[in-house]
Amino acid sequence: MAWTLPNTLLGLVLGIAGMPFGARAHWRAADLALVFHHWRWGPGGALTLGNVIIHTGDDLDASCLTYAHRAGWGTETPVCLADHERAHVFQYMVLGPLFLPLYLLCGGVSARNRFERAADRYAQTGRGWWPW
């Protein structure tokens, strides 16, 4: 957790900025993350920054479509958003401050991004959160 502290601090700043507008913080021990629910800005879904998850909805245990499914690469069953975001927490904990530059170099928010594919794989199977 110390290795990814710069990312976590960024997540805390964003989460706390949303609190006057209705965001609420909740610790999820299983995900090793502080989750800010009801974050009011953005297209919806969740964003992980270190050990912080910024979430626009009520319940992180909601179902969501995989990146491959949304990109039209095939039909896949929905996955649990919490499982997908937990994979990103694990990725951050290993890569620390290197995560964001590597994530962006791999394509950012995209079905082609190996970090997103690995997070979807982990959400589908409970294994394989590492992107390489």
Q: What is the pLDDT of residues 4-41, one digit of tens each?
A: 999 999 999 999 999 999 999 999 999 999 999 999 98
pLDDT single digits (tens) 95-112? 999 999 999 999 999 999
Neighbours of 25 (CB within 10 A): 14
Q: What is the pLDDT of residue 42?
A: 81
pLDDT single digits (tens) 42-99? 888 999 999 999 999 999 999 999 999 999 998 999 999 999 999 999 999 999 999 9
Is residue 75 helix, strand or coil? coil
Dihedral through CA 90, CA 93, CA 95, CA 97, nearest 10? 130
Q: What is the pLDDT of residue 114?
A: 97
Q: What is the pLDDT of residue 44?
A: 85
Q: What are phi and psi of 100, to 5 degrees?
A: -60, -45
Q: What CA–CA distances, in Å, run from 132 to 102, 115, 128?
A: 12, 9, 9
